[in-house]
């Protein structure tokens, strides 16, 4: 009996240890997060986000790369949400190589996405009339990699939860159809503009929105395994940017992240500080202004952010977390797409302007697009990286474009996953991808440039490739896109408009 008691005392703890371990296919889920400052060290620095090049000498608020690393079994995935307007593929790749060397995470298991603040230092040449800032271009990749490395070092057992809430009052279509008698000219001297961004409030020269809106606010929450401590929050919303001036700023993305960190974690940092991030959705033709209604007087970025953060917090408080260990996987593919080749007459037009301009930076729209023509001749193709991340029942698609709302809605409607959201300007900056039918309407987002130059049929090819990755990770076929899809979007837009009108009327009665 004595020997039996000794044996039991030795093996009973071992039995419970083995019993508590995840079974095959139920590997422990680990997560870590870190937010690293990426504000420029050298000022002034070149800022992108506008048509013409300019510099800034102030940092209004700090810029960050908010980094998240997850692990389950043999799968490790890193996501970095970076306060940048856009980061070209080669700069993303530099950061991935360094991060992979420091952590062992495979390069094709790292996702780097820009928030699309228009007030960040430039790391991209020919971002319209803007060059890359050479000092910041050298500075940024190792900083992103360091953020991923520190997130990796913060690993702990975790659980995840996901929710989506509709936020229709904070993003609207910014691309409007012009009245047929008001068609306008493009930078090349042709009258092709049938639709244009930012028409102005209730402008009679425009007749209505050119596309639907993806107003879903998605939240991925990561907590400690016991649910006692928040680790990370990745939000996703399709709104282009709010807009600030006078210096470098993370725009509303940074303000939203800070507000959510304060609301959720307060001052209790625990093992590692809680990190929240707002990622960019499919907002190529979306913005916060509602041009169908009068302009809001004195509406500030702080008001906008506070309203959206309150919606997010209410949704966050009702998230249900997965009890089982979350499945984690990632898939990546690449496409080589053509750029829209300029005609001989366009090349001749551009050559004349470029010769007159010489070495100075462009100072007008025609000069900007003439420089782009010369670059197109030397760079007729674009290689793009597409990714899908699976976290339990959630799928995140990543594409290096500025994507229209309709494209995001198509991906969500056809995805075989329970929940899907999309990160644009991820792993590159290959420009706007209007659906083919939108090219016929012209306007800024279709004018050939490095930021809008892919072949007319690029959008359906990208969508098809991403749906293929979603099928690969889910083991299920994509859902069919029915002929009622576009009618459904129109009906939903009408429903939201009526609901908003009712809300306004009710507030007026109170």
Condensed to tens digits (0 to 9), the pLDDT of residues 188-208 reads 999 999 999 999 999 999 999
Q: Confirm if 80 and 114 have CB atoms less than 8 A apart.
A: no
**What is the side-by-side strand order in the sheet with 195-197?**
195-197, 175-178, 206-209
Confidence of residue 4 (pLDDT cuts 50, 70, 90): very low
**Annotated domain spans of the chain:** 29-341+380-479, 480-510
Determine the Cα–Cα distance for residues 291 and 202; give it in Å rounded to an integer: 6
pLDDT digits 0-9 by tens, 44-91: 999 988 999 999 999 999 999 999 999 999 999 999 999 999 999 999
Determine the Cα–Cα distance for residues 23 and 19; give it in Å rounded to an integer: 9
Q: Confirm if 214 and 409 have CB atoms less than 8 A apart.
A: yes
Q: What pLDDT is attached to residue 27?
A: 73
pLDDT digits 0-9 by tens, 203-243: 999 999 999 999 999 999 999 999 999 999 999 999 999 99
What residues are paired with 218 via a beta bridge? 164, 236
Give the closest residue to 430 by CA, choosing from 402, 408, 392.
402
What residue has token string 């056809």?
A: 414
Give the DSSP letter of residue 127: B
Read off the pTM: 0.90
What residue has token string 């551009």?
A: 350
Give the closest residue to 172 by CA, choosing from 74, 339, 296, 344.
296
Q: Confirm if 509 and 441 have CB atoms less than 8 A apart.
A: no
Q: Confirm if 345 and 92 have CB atoms less than 8 A apart.
A: no
The beta-strand segments (E) located in 258-400 are: 275-280, 286-287, 328-338, 381-391, 394-398
Pull the structure tokens for residue 45.
Answer: 């620095």
Q: Confirm if 176 and 112 have CB atoms less than 8 A apart.
A: no
Quick one: angle between helices 301-316 and 251-265, nearest 10?
40
């Amino acid at each position: 009996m004595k020997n039996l008691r000794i044996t039991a005392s030795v093996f009973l703890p071992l039995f419970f240890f083995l019993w508590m371990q995840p079974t095959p296919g139920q590997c422990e889920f680990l997560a870590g997060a870190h937010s690293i400052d990426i504000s420029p060290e050298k000022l002034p620095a070149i800022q992108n986000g506008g048509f013409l090049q300019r510099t800034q000498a102030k940092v209004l608020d700090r810029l960050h790369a908010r980094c998240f690393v997850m692990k389950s079994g043999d799968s490790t995935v890193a996501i970095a949400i970076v306060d940048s307007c856009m980061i070209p593929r080669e700069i993303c790749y530099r950061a991935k190589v360094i991060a992979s060397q420091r952590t062992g995470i495979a390069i094709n298991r790292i996702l780097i996405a820009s928030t699309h603040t228009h007030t960040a230092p430039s790391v991209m040449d020919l971002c319209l009339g803007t060059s890359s800032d050479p000092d910041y271009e050298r500075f940024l990749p190792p900083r992103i990699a360091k953020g991923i490395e520190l997130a990796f070092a913060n690993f702990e057992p975790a659980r995840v939860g996901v929710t989506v809430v509709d936020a229709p009052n904070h993003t609207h279509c910014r691309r409007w159809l012009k009245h047929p008698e008001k068609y306008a000219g493009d930078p090349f001297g042709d009258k092709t503009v049938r639709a244009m961004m930012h028409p102005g409030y209730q402008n009679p020269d425009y007749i209505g929105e050119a596309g639907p809106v993806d107003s879903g606010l998605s939240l991925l929450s990561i907590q400690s395994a016991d649910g006692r401590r928040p680790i990370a929050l990745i939000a996703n919303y399709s709104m282009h940017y709010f807009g600030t001036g006078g210096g470098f700023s993370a725009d509303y993305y940074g303000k939203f992240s800070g507000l959510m960190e304060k609301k959720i974690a307060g001052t209790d940092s625990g093992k590692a500080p809680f990190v929240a991030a707002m990622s960019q959705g499919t907002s190529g033709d979306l913005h916060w202004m509602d041009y169908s209604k009068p302009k809001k007087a004195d509406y500030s970025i702080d008001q906008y952010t506070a309203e959206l953060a309150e919606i997010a917090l209410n949704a966050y408080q009702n998230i249900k977390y997965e009890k089982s260990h979350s499945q984690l996987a990632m898939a990546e593919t690449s496409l080589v797409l053509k750029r829209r080749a300029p005609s001989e007459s366009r090349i001749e037009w551009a050559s004349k302007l470029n010769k007159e301009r010489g070495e100075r930076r462009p100072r007008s729209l025609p000069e900007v697009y003439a420089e782009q023509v010369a670059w197109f001749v030397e760079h007729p193709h674009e290689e793009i990286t597409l990714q899908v991340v699976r976290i339990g029942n959630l799928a995140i698609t990543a594409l290096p474009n500025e994507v229209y709302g309709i494209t995001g809605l198509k991906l969500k409607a056809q995805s075989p996953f329970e929940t899907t959201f999309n990160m644009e300007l991820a792993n590159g900056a290959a420009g706007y991808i209007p659906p083919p039918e939108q090219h016929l309407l012209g306007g800024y987002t279709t004018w050939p440039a490095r930021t809008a130059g892919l072949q007319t049929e690029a959008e359906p090819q990208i969508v098809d490739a991403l749906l293929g990755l979603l099928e690969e990770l889910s083991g299920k076929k994509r859902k069919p896109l029915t002929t009622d899809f576009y009618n459904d979007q129109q009906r939903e837009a009408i429903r939201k408009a009526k609901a908003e009108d009712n809300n306004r009327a009710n507030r007026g009665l109170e």
